[in-house]
Amino acid sequence: MKRTIIPVKRKTAQSYTIVIGDDCLKKLIVDIKTKKWANRYAIITDSKVKKLYGEKVQKILKKAGIETVLISFIQGEKHKNFKTVQTILDSLFKEEFHRDDGIIALGGGVVGDIAGFVASLYMRGIPYIQIPTTLLAMVDSSVGGKTGVDTKWGKNLIGSFYNPKAVYIKPSYLQTLPKKQLRNGFSEIIKYGIIARPSLLTFLQKNKESLFAAKTKATSKLIAPCVRIKRTMVQVDERENGMRKLLNYGHTIGHAIEKQSHYTVQHGQAISIGMSIINTIAVSKKWMSKKNAETIKKLFKTYGLPTKLPTSFSNVALVNSIKMDKKIKHNKKTFVVATKLGKARLSTSITNQDITKACRKHA
C-alpha cells in the first residue's frame, strides 16, 4: 500500500502530519530521530492493546535505539477517568520523566484521549504522538487534538485541546479488531458521508464484505477521505467555535445515551441512535426528506448499527443528560442537522419536547 501523508496546518501553534500506511512505523522512527521531539517516550496503552501491539512496538523502537517505557491501564470506556490519569501521572513521576521526554498513545479513542490529556497536564505539557489502533480512532479521535476524560456529569466534559506532534495510522492493525469495534468506526464514517461526502456512503453500500474483513485496500479508501474532511474542519476551526461543530452530528444525544447506559452502549452505537433520532426530528420539521432518512437507516442496518434506544432508557433522564452538553451556549442547545446527503447545518431551535417525541419513536 502506498503511504499517504496529510498535513494539518494550525493557526495557533506548530502544524503536524498524519501518516497513513502499513510502513508508517518506519516513518515514525525516522521522524523521532530527525525531529528530536523528546529524549525518551512512555508508550501509553490499554491492557488489550499492550498484548497485541504494545510490546511489539516497544521492541521495534528499542531496536532502533529509541528508549521507551510501557504503561498500560485496564481496557474500556469506564476507565476513562481521573483515577486512570492519576495512575499514569504517578508512573511518569516514578520513571523520572521530564519536560524533554514524551508520550506515544497506542490504542483506540480511550487511549488517545487519556494519553493526550496526560501529555497536556504533565509538567504543563510534554510532546506526544498518536498511533491509533481502532477504526474509530483512525478516522476521528486521533485527529484534531481533543483530549479528556469522562465524569459522572457526562462524557468528555473535562479535557483540553492539545495536538500531537504527528499521527501514524497503520490500517492492518484493524485485522485484529473485533467486528463490534469495527462497527463503531463505521458509524463515524457514515457520519462523515452524511455531513460532507455522500460518496463514502456509496462505497460503504458496495464494499461491506471487504470492509468487515478489514482488507487494507478497502479500509484505506475510507480512512484517508475521513481524515481529510476532519483535517479541513480542524484547520478552519481548531477550537470548535463554528464549522468543526458539524462533526458532532448525532453526538449530543449519543453522548447522553452513553452516559445513561453507564458506557455499556458503545460510542458508535450511541451515535447511530443519536443520528437516527435527530433525523426523525429533521423529517418532522421538513428539514430532511423521508427518502434520505430511510437511506441512512438502511445503511445503519447493513452495518449492524442500532437506531432504537435500549428498552430500559428514560427519556426524561436522556433530556437531563443533554443539559450538560459542552456545546450549550447562552442556555441554548446546539444540534447538528443533516438537510440532505452531504450537507448539514447547526440548529438551536430543537426543543426538549422535540427530543422526547422523537425518542418515543425510537423506543
| 196-228: pLDDT as tens digits | 999 999 999 999 999 999 998 999 999 999 999
| C-beta separation of 363 from 306 below 8 A | no
| Residue 265: band (very low, low, confident or very high) from pLDDT cuts 50, 70, 90 | very high
pLDDT tens-digit readout, 298-324: 999 999 999 999 988 888 889 888 877
Calpha distance 55→71 (Å, rounded): 10
Number of H helices and E strands in the chain, helices first, is 15, 11
In the chain, CATH 3.40.50.1970 sits at 4-176
Nearest alpha carbon to residue 317 among 358, 271, 259: 259
In the chain, CATH 1.20.1090.10 sits at 249-361
Cell reading at 166: 504527528
pLDDT of residue 53: 97
Fold entry, domain 4-176: Rossmann fold (3.40.50)
Calpha distance 155→81 (Å, rounded): 10
Assign domain 249-361 one CATH number from 1.10.10.60, 3.40.50.1980, 1.20.1090.10, 3.40.50.1820: 1.20.1090.10
Mean pLDDT over all residues of the chain?
94
Model confidence at 118: pLDDT above 70: yes
**332 versus 227: which is more confidently predicted?**
227
Most confident of 2-16, 61-75, 327-341: 61-75
Q: How distant, in Å, are the alpha carbons of 6, 38, 127, 130, 135 from that of 16?
A: 9, 15, 12, 11, 21
Enzyme catalytic residues: 124, 146, 188, 230, 240, 244, 248, 251, 255, 267
Cα 13 from chain centre: 22
